[in-house]
Chain A
Amino acid sequence: MTPTKPSDLIASDKNQNKQAVIAVVGNPNTGKSTLFNLLTGMRQKVANYPGVTVEKRIGELTIGERRFQLIDLPGTYSLAAHSPDERAAIDVLLGRIGDMPAPDAVLVVVDATNIKRNLFVATEVLELGIPVVIALNMVDIAESQHISIDVAALATRLNTVVIPTIAAATRHENLEPLKAALATAVDKTSPKPWALLEDVKQAAAALATELATECAAQTPPSPQQPAAYEVQRALIDKGGEAEKRLVDIFGSNLSRRLQLLRDKLTSGQTLAERDANERYAYIAKILDGIVQVPAGNQQRSLTERIDQIVSHPIIGSLLFVLVMATVFQAVFSWATPLMDLIDGTAGWVTDQVYATLPEGAIASLLADGVVAGVGSVVIFLPQILILFAFIIVLEDSGYMARAAFLMDRSMRWCGLSGHSFVPMLSSFACAVPAIMGTRVIPDTRDRIATIMAAPFMTCSARLPVYALLIAAFIPRQHYFYGLVNLQGLVLLGLYLLGIVGGVLTAFLLKRTILRGSAPTFLMELPPYRTPNIKSVLVRLIERAKAFLVRAGTVIFFVSVVVWSLAYFPRSEILAAEFERQKLAVEASVQIEAAREQAILVLENELAAAQMEQSLLGRMGKTIAPVFKPLGWDWKLSAAVIASFPAREVVIAVLGTTYAVGSDVDEEDEGLRERVRNAAWPDGKKVFTPGIALGLMVFYALCLQCAATVVIIYRETNSWRWPAFAWVYMTGLGYLGALACAQLG
């Protein structure tokens, strides 16, 4: 497949000084964003469209001396807007977003392996009368599937430029011809708008003129004059975003006027059906004789064969549970050697600090603050990487799309659809992007229900907390010839608890304050592919870097601050009393080993006493009565309170508080041992199995993430929902922990 010469098709006649705007449009799964990234490099900025929480990505494309502004629009199958994302896409194309000008050209990204469906939106864009360049993407995959496309003939029939491209993370081709085509397209005189449904276009234009006259007659004249295309979309897409907006402006009477017009323009089928039928007939005519698709595609049939098992309601669901169980088993079984290595290194660094520096505040800051705090979080890096390696491989192979398909049935039970599964899945990494990802959900009530359910999913910040508590309190028991271990099962149970919590929340909301009909869900199942090792590694390194940067910044900051709160103020009276008792021991105990042991006990008592009267100790004791019914001591209460802005902080706080007030001997086995041995003043263990389980349940259900609270506010434009989420989840966590403590 060779590119057509853009210069042959497009004449240059506009001035070349202004920064031209190019919108990038395409179906989901076409490699649109990858192509956008390749064209703009790192010269991008992300913001929201004014007034709506739809992400706007703008990048800069430089060709020779000229600079172009590229706008990456949300992926859409057609210009029929049924969600805020799709409405933003049309608004950009019509130049109806704030002070953003209408685009000078549109780059439509078309998947060469699925050209018929992709041309649906492409032909809609062509109707608008904006110069269009089509990037026929994934031609390498099309070739491997023996799909042949006559690109030159396609360009001639569509009367536009078509450039075959390959835009993948690991390989890209024909970007230069594409850039040249775009540079030429923006200078082209706009072609005349046309319409497949000419009668609908004319009726829409007449209604738009009537509405414009009504706007002008208002006192003062309304500035919100509708575009003819917007009215056309309102006519075709009954109940869609275009109709909703026009009704908002012109009142409910407009719905009746639109319906009268629809009745005139159709007979026996809706306008949307007529549009789809005529458009697919038009596309079939364009593709006739220029696209050859082999009858029995080998890869597709292999995919179909696998799908017969993987997407089967019963076998597929069992397989899904088995896959997830394997992942959680691996998280514990495979990570242990690496975790021991990190733990050993942290212990060695602590020893070196105490051996090198004189005893005092500086050594304590470095060893008990920095090393104990940051080290206690970094130790979970291997587990996080193993979990994400599995998730990335499952996604890249195409399995996760099947999981979404399977989950659609479960989602339907709680009043949601598979639409909500992708954000829910994302929230296993972090709830913030997941909540932002709910923008693809068309119905506002479903969107809010998903936003409320997403924070329940076990994010990567919960994993270290679970890992610490499971390693400390759940025995390493193996079953079924060592294939299944208890720790992995408990972790799986906690993940399931999060899922159940989220699903039940959505269920309750959808049957009470967010009552509404179950939405329809349409999703494309990509063919199974072998994951690219390089791509998996690159993303794993990204994840490791993100985790380590977090440990090096936020956790480091928290560790140091918590250390200072746990260390200061120092009591001179306690220190003097310790010195007096130490001298007495030295004078009275003759045997060296016994003397050293007695002094060590005194040192531990001093450390504990100093910490109790420290700022953290006082704060912890003040808040402790609230958590007393849960069986928590003041150290744990303080750690939990400190972790409300970010839940994984609890590890660093526990690491620091238990290090500052703990035994300073070389046989210490790290935080797990310290937590396991934590005791009340009467010697009773703080963490009974019930209390440890209660703490895990608390972390599974509680909303301890300031970023999530803020993003819920941003996405719902109200403090009502984040306040509800925080109170509801914290209350649920407290009650869960209370139940465990009382029953355990």
Chain B
Amino acid sequence: MSSQQQEWIALAAVILIAGISIFRWWQRRKRGDSGCSHCEKSCSSPETTSRKLD
């Protein structure tokens, strides 16, 4: 495989990964999530919220 072919394949992979990531993020935003999995996990994590007191 030539270096140019490799570059095209790598670029296509990057675009595909970016596209899927953005699509999934947008879908979650549409569902009303904050779009940030880190924050949502933290929210549901009992040690991090004041809700644990309830």
Which B residues contact A (CB, under 8 angstroms)? 1, 3, 6-7, 9-11, 13-14, 17-18, 21, 24, 32, 34-39, 41-54
Contact = CB atoms under 8 A, between A and B. Distances in A.
A542 B36 contact: no
A707 interface: yes
A461 B38 contact: yes
Interface stretch (A62-70, A291-299, A561-569, A584-592): A561-569
Contacts of A556: 17, 21
Given A364-B10, A365-B10, A426-B49, A557 B41 contact: no
Given A361-B6, A545-B41, A546-B42, A437 B51 contact: yes
Contacts, number: 131
B7 A546 contact: no
Interface in A1-56: 26, 28-30, 32-33, 47, 55
Nearest to B49: A433
A388 B54 contact: no
B41 A542 contact: yes
A554 B38 CA distance: 9
A546 B6 contact: no
- Among B18, B36, B39: residue with most chain A CB under 10 A: B39
- A-B pairs, 6 with minimum CB distance: A546-B41, A437-B50, A430-B42, A432-B39, A361-B10, A360-B6
Contacts of B3: 360-361
Nearest to A57: B51
B41 to A, nearest CB: 3
Contacts of B49: 426, 433, 436-437
A88 interface: no
B1 A561 contact: no
30 contacts: A26-B54, A28-B53, A29-B53, A33-B51, A47-B32, A74-B54, A75-B53, A75-B54, A360-B3, A361-B3, A364-B10, A395-B52, A423-B50, A429-B48, A430-B43, A432-B34, A543-B45, A545-B41, A546-B42, A549-B41, A550-B37, A553-B24, A556-B21, A561-B14, A568-B11, A570-B7, A646-B38, A707-B34, A707-B35, A710-B34
Interface in A438-461: 439-440, 460-461
A362 interface: yes
A330 interface: no
Contacts of A391: 47
Nearest to B43: A433
A55 B34 CA distance: 14
Contacts of B53: 28-29, 75, 422
Contacts of B36: 432, 646, 706-707
B12 to A, nearest CB: 11
Contacts of A553: 21, 24, 37
B46 A360 contact: no
A433 B18 contact: no
Contacts of B17: 556-557, 560
Given A433-B42, A560-B14, A711 B54 contact: no
A47 B52 CA distance: 17
A44 B54 CA distance: 16
